[in-house]
Amino acid sequence: MTDSFPAPALYVGQVVHARHASPHHRFAQPVLYCLLNLQTISALARKCQLFGHNQLNLFSFYDRDHGARDGSDLLDWVHGQLLQAEIPLPGGPVCLLAQPRVLGHVFNPLSVIYCHDPAGVLRAVIYEVHNTYGEAHSYVAAVSDGAGAASAGVSHTAAKTFRVSPFQPLSGAYDFALQPPGETAHLTVSLRRHSGNPLLTARLDGERRPFTDRSLMAEFLRLPLSSLRTTTAIYRHGTKIWLKSRRAARLRPRLQGPQGSSEPF
């Protein structure tokens, strides 16, 4: 197993959000994600002229965007998270799937850290959630034997302990389902409460591209300021949900007949 495993890559695709509870809402957003080996980011930055590590470039990665968010060593933070969760240190490559900074801007609603053993078998996953208030929280989970194979799916459930959306209470549970990145990357997150039915679902689907200057420039021309588009989409669709909620609140009294029965309209 080489030190560069898994190889860095770009993943080009889309994120689809679906709100299943009232008010219903759905949208799809094109995205660009990077798969980075945390042990070799500096070497990658020296190789690619359009990619910087802790310095401004067309595309860049800053340590302070993840982990302790103070610029400290991200690998040390990962090891600390695993130890806190009582998960043995796998001792192999640690890779991050996240949106890169584009001209200095980034926002990652969810990034994923894959922790492998020396043979390249996935042993643990850290789901790092960010909200628009600049806060972050991580859900850490072990991967059972055999579940980390490239052809197999990985699933985890975690109680929600971090506020993300003003439209959802601080309760319920997340269901995470993913396949380790290969030629494609897939990740689904569902939020549910006691009923067991999902309140909302977010899904990432991406296709692998080589991590080269040529690919970076092609993706910048295809989807300029991709990270800013993500932030803009969150506020735009949040406003639409709020307007739908206001409209439903205005209509609700009109739908109540005598003794609370529903009236047709």
Residues 252-264: what's their mean pLDDT? Answer: 33
Q: Is the pLDDT of residue 252 over 50?
A: no
Query: What is the reported pTM?
Result: 0.82
Contact (CB, 8 A) for 90 and 116? yes
Tokens of residue 87, six digits? 């998960």
Secondary structure E strands in the chain: 9-19, 25-37, 51-53, 59-61, 94-98, 101-102, 110-116, 122-130, 136-142, 154-159, 173-179, 184-192, 198-210
Q: How confident is the model at residue 249 (pLDDT cuts 50, 70, 90)?
A: very low
More confident site: 16 or 244? 16
Instruction: Supply the pLDDT for residue 96.
Output: 98
Biggest alpha carbon–alpha carbon distance for the chain: 73
Domain boundaries, the chain: 9-256
Residues 137-153: what's their mean pLDDT? Answer: 78
Instruction: Supply the pLDDT for residue 148.
Output: 58
Tokens of residue 41, six digits? 């980011």
Q: How confident is the model at residue 110 (pLDDT cuts 50, 70, 90)?
A: very high
Contact (CB, 8 A) for 190 and 198? yes
**How far is residue 63's CA from residue 38's CA, in Å, rounded to a whole number?**
10
What lies within 8 Å, CB to CB, of 90 at 6+ separation is 82, 115, 116, 117, 118, 123, 124
Q: How confident is the model at residue 240 (pLDDT cuts 50, 70, 90)?
A: low
Q: Is the pLDDT of residue 255 over 70?
A: no
**How far is residue 219's CA from residue 179's CA, in Å, rounded to a whole number?**
23
The helix/strand/coil state of 236 is helix
Residues facing residue 53 across a β-bridge: 61
Q: Is the pLDDT of residue 114 over 90?
A: yes
The continuous run of DSSP H or E covering 234 comes out as helix 226-251
**How far is residue 5's CA from residue 18's CA, in Å, rounded to a whole number?**
34
More confident site: 83 or 150? 83
**233 burial level (CB within 10 Å; 0-12, 13-18, 19+):** middle
**How far is residue 143's CA from residue 131's CA, in Å, rounded to a whole number?**
26
**How far is residue 97's CA from residue 110's CA, in Å, rounded to a whole number?**
9
Q: How confident is the model at residue 230 (pLDDT cuts 50, 70, 90)?
A: low
Share of the chain above pLDDT 70, in %: 74
Share of the chain above pLDDT 90, in %: 57
Contact (CB, 8 A) for 66 and 98? yes
Q: Could you read off the pLDDT of 9-52 as tens digits, one per residue?
A: 999 999 998 887 766 667 788 999 999 999 999 999 999 999 99
Instruction: Supply the pLDDT for residue 223.
Output: 86
Q: Could you read off the pLDDT of 208-221 as tens digits, one per residue?
A: 999 999 999 999 99
Instruction: Supply the pLDDT for residue 3.
Output: 42
* Pairing mode of beta strands 59-61, 122-130: unpaired
Least confident of 33-37, 188-192, 256-260: 256-260
* Pairing mode of beta strands 122-130, 101-102: unpaired
